[in-house]
Amino acid sequence: MIIYTAIPSPLFGYKQMFDAIKLVDEAFAVGYFKNHLEEIECAWIALDGDKVVGWAAVGDCLLRCIVVHPDYRGQGVGKRLTEERLKYLGDCKEVISYAWIRPDGRCMSCKNLENFGFELAKELPEYYNNTRQACKYCGGNCKCVARLYVKTQR
């Protein structure tokens, strides 16, 4: 059984965050950890026993990073983490999120965001160039695109 736990800042599980983000890309984890740590208000981890299988965060009406272990994708972990984050941001009139578009055009979180009523606002070329020390798809100079999504709430 997977357990979901909210961890308010500043005690939001630095090790769990780093371990979870490394599932996607270790270089990205290092860059994200250095550049965005202070912007996180609250984070959630999904645990299967003592194994981190998902991690997601929010900050200032923004759905920040979300990662799900590859072995647990398609099992509702990302959906549940997004539900928890939107509930936490219930007082925000608008919630925004960025989705990472890989060079092959794949987007891990676009469908999840769209299923929750987010609408594509615009694409941002080379958005991750300044935040990644290295990209496992592009090399040292990340050319990945981001999509900015917006959701208007009640």
pLDDT digits (tens, 9 = 90+) for 108-119: 889 999 999 999
Q: Please name every residue paired with 145 in a beta bridge, in sequence order, or none if there are none.
A: 101
pLDDT digits (tens, 9 = 90+) for 93-146: 999 999 988 888 888 889 999 999 999 999 988 777 766 656 777 776 777 888
CB-based contacts of 55, cutoff 8 Å, min separation 6: 13, 16, 17, 19, 20, 21, 43, 44, 45, 46, 65, 66, 67, 81
pTM: 0.81
CB-based contacts of 9, cutoff 8 Å, min separation 6: 40, 41, 42, 43
- Per mean pLDDT, which of 3-17, 43-57, 94-108, 117-131 is the most reliable? 94-108
